Amino acid sequence: MSQLFFSAEHVLQGGYFHPVLRKLQEPNTSIEPHNIMYPVFLLEDENGLQHVNSMPNVNRYGINKLIPVLQDLVLKGLKSILLFGIVETLPKDPLGTNADSTDNPVIKALPKLRSTFPDLVIAADVCLCPYTSHGHCGVLNASGSIDHAASVKRIAEVALAYASAGANIVAPSDMMDNRIKAIKEALVAHKLQNQVAVLSYSCKFASSMYGPFRDTMKSSPMEGDRKCYQLPPGSSGLAARAAARDVAEGADFLMVKPGLPYLDIVKQTKQQFPNHPLYIYQVSGEYAMISRCGDSEEVKTTLMETLTCMRRAGADCIITYFAPLILSIIGNKS
């Protein structure tokens, strides 16, 4: 007999030769509609429709153009959206007054969206940067640094305004310390705490991968960068402390952003807080990269592999501009 060059107990392939058996080897990685949230850019002009040059197949919609698009996606299974307001004619000022004015596109659209889509989860991104003249996510003091107290006060006001207008989730993306506590207190004071969830962008890094989004939103800072409030990409310790702080302040859901290069942070956060649903934001730069990774079949398989790996790392819900494509892929499968 020839020399034995393998040992029977080290043969793994017997466990995954069949597609049904392979499924058993990938627990908790399925992609169902409730695992996906779709970010939507909302224009001031109610009949507006603009393509986003930096992001193929992504549009900016006025509410009248958005509703039919969402009707189609809801029929295909869409369960949740994340709203971003864009102002083009309303003035920007140092306090971001139009983040929560009655003219704000998100505040105007929320009641219509709630009545048209009673079962859809509607989240509103809460930040000042699309509305401030300086383009920073908080309020600045005379020297140009962040005025912490004034920023937290404004962010909580804006979150409360979106909650009062009908958002099911408010999602502060500004990264100012202590805003979760301020938002929760505002919700409690207005008896909204059991009708509105707080999704904290708890572990948001100062990434280069937000470029297409800032282009879309016209929300780049006029001067400086966001490194004094967004986390340094190499730091897992600050991410752990930020998540712990936001949990202590009452966050309902946590988030890691960007997604793919930060899956170690996803796993760390899920292990740290297994009882808090965890979101990943697959950001605009990731969208741009995957969109250009090959032909349409390669884009689909790369996308689904990426989502599976995000679920494996511990994500419960993935915020992704690919939501329409994902719904068509998973719809065709079943």
| Binding stretches for ligand PBG (CB under 6 A) | 125, 127, 129, 137, 173-174, 210, 213-214, 226, 283-284
Q: CB 285 → ligand PBG: shortest distance, Å?
A: 6
Residue 257 annotated among the catalytic residues of the structure: yes
| Distance in angstroms (rounded) separating the CA atoms of residues 210 and 34 | 25
| Distance in angstroms (rounded) separating the CA atoms of residues 323 and 157 | 30
Partners of residue 121 on adjacent β-strands: 80
Q: CB 214 → ligand PBG: shortest distance, Å?
A: 5
| Distance in angstroms (rounded) separating the CA atoms of residues 317 and 32 | 9
Question: Binding of Zn ion at residue 99 (CB under 5 A)?
Answer: no
| Distance in angstroms (rounded) separating the CA atoms of residues 302 and 310 | 12
| Torsion angles phi and psi, residue 68, rounded to 5 | -65, -35
- The catalytic position among 65, 92, 184, 257 is 257
By a kind-dependent CB cut-off of 5 to 8 A, residue 104 interacts, out of Zn ion, ligand PBG, none, with none
- Angle between helix 105-116 and 148-165 (nearest 10): 30
Q: Taking contact as CB under 5 A, which single stretch among the options 117-125, 127-135, 145-153, 178-186 is the one that binds Zn ion? A: 127-135
Three-state SS at 216: helix
Would you state the structure tokens that stand for residue 307, as one six-digit string? 């989502």
Partners of residue 197 on adjacent β-strands: 169
**Interface map 249-268 toward Zn ion (x if CB under 5 A):** --------------------
Q: Taking contact as CB under 5 A, which single stretch among the options 22-30, 39-47, 112-120, 131-139 is the one that binds Zn ion? A: 131-139
By a kind-dependent CB cut-off of 5 to 8 A, residue 284 interacts, out of ligand PBG, Zn ion, none, with ligand PBG
Pick one of 36, 63, 124, 129: the residue that binds Zn ion (CB under 5 A).
129
Contact 233, 260 (CB under 8 A): no
By a kind-dependent CB cut-off of 5 to 8 A, residue 214 interacts, out of ligand PBG, Zn ion, none, with ligand PBG
Residue, CB closest to ligand PBG: 213
Q: CB 197 → ligand PBG: shortest distance, Å?
A: 18
Q: CB 36 → ligand PBG: shortest distance, Å?
A: 15
Would you state the structure tokens that stand for residue 249, as one six-digit string? 């302040």
| Distance in angstroms (rounded) separating the CA atoms of residues 251 and 180 | 6
Pick one of 137, 169, 307, 319: the residue that binds Zn ion (CB under 5 A).
137
Three-state SS at 149: helix
The verdict on whether omega for the bond into residue 56 sits within 30 degrees of 0, i.e. cis, is no
| Torsion angles phi and psi, residue 235, rounded to 5 | -100, 115
Pick one of 52, 70, 82, 127: the residue that binds Zn ion (CB under 5 A).
127
Residue 204 annotated among the catalytic residues of the structure: yes
By a kind-dependent CB cut-off of 5 to 8 A, residue 210 interacts, out of Zn ion, ligand PBG, none, with ligand PBG
Q: CB 265 → ligand PBG: shortest distance, Å?
A: 16
Closest CA to 279 of 62, 77, 82: 82
Question: Binding of Zn ion at residue 217 (CB under 5 A)?
Answer: no
Measured from the CB atom, is 85 or 324 closer to Zn ion? 85
Q: Say which DSSP state 207 is in.
A: -
Count of residues that interact with Zn ion, criterion CB under 5 A: 3
Residue 250 CA: distances (Å) to CA of 114, 162, 179, 199, 274? 25, 18, 10, 10, 15
- The catalytic position among 92, 181, 184, 204 is 204
Measured from the CB atom, is 153 or 214 closer to ligand PBG? 214
Q: CB 56 → ligand PBG: shortest distance, Å?
A: 14
Which of the residues are catalytic?
204, 257
